[in-house]
Amino acid sequence: MPTETVQDAAPQGRMLQTAVTPERVDKISAAAYRIRHHALNMGEVQGQGYVGQALGAADMLATVYGDQLNFRAEDPHWEGRDRFLLSTGHYAIGHYAALAEAGIVPVNELETYGSDDSRLPMSGMSTYTPGMEISGGSLGHGLTIAVGMALGLRYQGSSARVFNFLSDGELDEGSNWEAAMGAHHHQLGNLTAMVDINALQADGKTDTVLRTEPVTEKWESFGWYTQRVDGNDVGALLAAFDNAAAQAAAVGRPSVILCDTKVGRGVPLLENREKAHFMRIEEHEWQVCREQLTAGYEGKASA
Partner 1 sequence: MSTTTKAASAPAATTTAAKPKLKTSAMIASFADPGQKTSSAPFGHALVKAAQENDKIVGLTADLGKYTDMHIFAKAFPERFFQMGMAEQLLFGAAAGLAETGLVPFASTYSVFAARRAYDFLCLDAAEPNLNVNIVGGLPGLTTGYGPSHQATEDMAIFRGMPNLTIVDPCDSVDIEQAVPQLAASEGPTYLRLLRGNVPTVLDEYGYTFELGKAKVLRGGNDVVFISSGLMTMRALQAAKALAAHNVDVAVVHTPTIKPFDAETVLAEINTDRLAVTLENHSVVGGLFETVASAVVTAGVGKRVVPVALPDQFLDAGALPTLHDRYGLAVDRIVAKVLAELG
Nearer to partner 1, 153 or 171 (CB): 153
Q: CB of residue 139 vs partner 1: minimum separation in angstroms?
A: 10
How wide is the angle at C-alpha 238 spanned by C-alphas 236 and 241, nearest 5°?
110
Nearer to partner 1, 141 or 262 (CB): 141
3-class DSSP assignment, residue 125: coil
Return the closest-CA partner of residue 29 out of 54, 58, 9: 58
Return the closest-CA partner of residue 34 out of 76, 65, 67, 62: 62
Query: Which residues of the shown chain bind partner 1 in the complex (CB under 8 A)?
Result: 125-127, 133-135, 137-138, 140-141, 143-153, 155-156, 158, 174-175, 178-179, 181-182, 185-186
Give buried/exposed letters for 73-86 (b at 16+ CB in 10 A, else e). Answer: beebeeeebbbbbb
CB 256 within 8 A of CB 227: yes
Beta bridge partners of 86: 165
Q: CB of residue 137 vs partner 1: minimum separation in angstroms?
A: 8
Nearer to partner 1, 104 or 162 (CB): 162
Burial status of residue 165 (CB atoms within 10 A of its CB: 0-12, 13-18, 19 or more): buried
Nearer to partner 1, 149 or 171 (CB): 149
Q: CB of residue 36 vs partner 1: minimum separation in angstroms?
A: 29
Q: CB of residue 71 vs partner 1: minimum separation in angstroms?
A: 15
Nearer to partner 1, 151 or 209 (CB): 151
Q: CB of residue 162 vs partner 1: minimum separation in angstroms?
A: 8
Nearer to partner 1, 33 or 165 (CB): 165
What is the end-to-end Cα distance of the chain in Å, rounded?
23
Q: CB of residue 94 vs partner 1: minimum separation in angstroms?
A: 21
Q: From CA 295, how far away is CA 266, in angstroms rounded? A: 9
Q: From CA 242, how far away is CA 198, in angstroms rounded? A: 22
